[in-house]
Each structure stands twice: as structure tokens, then as C-alpha cells.
Amino acid sequence: MKVTERLVDAQLFAATINSQLDGLPLPNETRECIATALFQLTIEHFNAVTVLLERNLGGSAAALVRLQYEALIRGLYFWHVASDAEAKSFIEGNDPPKIKKMIERLEQMPPFVSGALSTVHAREWTAMNSFTHGGSAQVLRRFQQGNLAGQTTDSEVKHILKSCQYAAYVAAFMVAAACRSSDAAKRVSDAHERLGFDQWA
């Protein structure tokens, strides 16, 4: 599939998420509210990535991948693991555990015992940091045959879209679950399956 078609699919999926989740009532528990807000942030970053890629701002889109990933992991942590005391501390402005510690604790829970989160983290974390913080991954891609250029390759765009769409899918499904909307969860899942982004890049 051409990269332009992938981008259109991603934008369609973003629109589906937005239409299905907009206006759903917030859950009652503090931990669930925190998680839902973080999942919504995950989805917002996905929307921003599609806009940036449409405007050929691939470096900025890549810089958002880590931010989206961290929002998702934090959301999963507060939903599945965090104590009420941790939720209260977070609301008061304190940081949650470091991301590797959150993943370690998540992978003690039944939905995550496969180790997929730590596998993705080990594979992608260094590159995500480099793109977010202006590291070599951002710098070297701008040197092409002795000229200064910022063009993102089709392969890079597809990788960004696949990663970000999958994270948005997980986040959207979790929001629907938190808000007790089985209809929204089904429509999000159906759209995700139809558009073919079935796993993390």
C-alpha cells in the first residue's frame, strides 16, 4: 500500500475514534479518571502525528512517538497497577515510577505477562529518545548526498503510522471500557481491523 493511502487510513481511524469517544461520561474512580485522561492524550498525539505527516513534517511527527508511548504506558499503569495512594500523589504533581519500572509491574498482570511491552521498549526506546531530543536519528536523516534535507522516507512514515495507530487503538479501546461503552469499543475494534493495522510496528 502506498504511503499516501496509509495516511488516509490513519486519518479515517482517527476520525472514527474521535466520533466514538467524544462525549462519553468519565468514570468515577480517581485512578480510572487519570488513566482515561492519559489514554485521551495518547489519541490526541496520534491525531497530531497524522496532521504533521500530511504536511511533510516527519521529524516533528517522529518526536511525538515517545510522548504518545509514555502516555499510553502511564495510562495502562494507572488503570491496571497503581494504588490509590499513587493516584493521589500523581494528582498532587509528583511523577509516577520510571517507565521501565511501570512496564515491569504491568507485566506481572495477566493482560501483559507475554512480555510484549518490554520487547517493544527494548527495541524502540533508544530511537524514540533520539527523535524526541534532537539526537543523531533526527540529525543524520537531514543530510542527504551533501545537502540539507528533512524528507521522511516512505518506510519511516509507515513505521510511525503503524506504531502510533496501534497505540491509539489500545488507548481508545481502554477509554471505551473505562466509560462502560461496549458499542464504542466494538466500533473502534471493527475500524482497527478493517484498516489493517493489527500489531505494533
Domain assignment present for residue 120? The answer is yes
Domain assignment present for residue 103? The answer is yes
Q: Pick the closest to residue 190 from 164, 167, 172 (CA basis).
A: 172
Domain assignment present for residue 136? The answer is yes
Per-residue pLDDT tens for 65-120? 999 999 999 999 999 999 999 999 999 999 999 999 999 999 999 989 999 999 99
Domain assignment present for residue 201? The answer is no
For the entire predicted model, the pTM comes to 0.91
First to last CA, the chain: 15
Domain assignment present for residue 200? The answer is no
How many structural domains compose the chain? 1
**H helices within 2-57, ranges in order?**
3-21, 30-54
Domain assignment present for residue 175? The answer is yes
Contact 116, 201 (CB under 8 A): no
What residues make up the domain containing 184? 3-195
pLDDT at residue 197 in the model: 59
Domain assignment present for residue 106? The answer is yes
pLDDT at residue 200 in the model: 44
How big is the chain by its Cα radius of gyration, in Å?
17
Return the number of other C-beta atoms located less than 10 Å from residue 188's C-beta.
25
Per-residue pLDDT tens for 3-21? 888 899 999 999 999 999 9
Domain assignment present for residue 137? The answer is yes
